[in-house]
Amino acid sequence: MTQTLEQATPTEVLWHRVCRLSDLELGWAEAALVDGRQVAIFPLGPEEVYAVDHRDPRTGANVMARGITGSRTVMGEERPTVTSPLHKEVYDLASGMCYTDGSLHLPVHPCRMQDGWVEVGQAW
């Protein structure tokens, strides 16, 4: 996947153009290298895309894009999740919170759709 960097002022997010949404299959994640960091991109709907570290918080292996997507109902709200393919921890894709082990956290990154392109904000 290719990327370009938009220049921004210090108070703005630096956005990296990763790929077109049409290059992805909804419901299936892909790994991308974004400014030297491995990121897992989760396209769950036409305007619903999440980006998290590809690195599994428990093992350090770069496998999160191979996780199983799903959802959890939390306080009456449906939350998108990914389950690690290694030890089956369940993470909230929006917050990075681990539902199955409170000591773990999956780093999440700002993600947006811009003119049909998936862009990931630099959060590191």
CA angle 13, 49, 88 (to 5 degrees): 110
- Check residue 5 and give its pLDDT: 44
CB 81 within 8 A of CB 71: yes
CA distances (Å), 54 to each of 76, 94, 106, 123, in order?
A: 29, 14, 9, 14
- Check residue 91 and give its pLDDT: 98
CA angle 22, 98, 122 (to 5 degrees): 50
CATH class belonging to 4-121: mainly beta
Local confidence pLDDT in tens for the 124 residues of the chain:
434 444 444 557 899 999 999 999 999 999 999 999 999 999 999 889 999 999 999 999 999 999 999 999 999 999 999 999 999 999 999 999 999 999 999 999 999 999 999 999 985 5
Please, what's the largest Cα pairwise distance for the chain?
40
Domains of the chain by residue range: 4-121
CA distances (Å), 36 to each of 27, 53, 76, 101, in order?
A: 25, 12, 38, 28
Cα(31)–Cα(65) distance, rounded to whole angstroms? Answer: 6
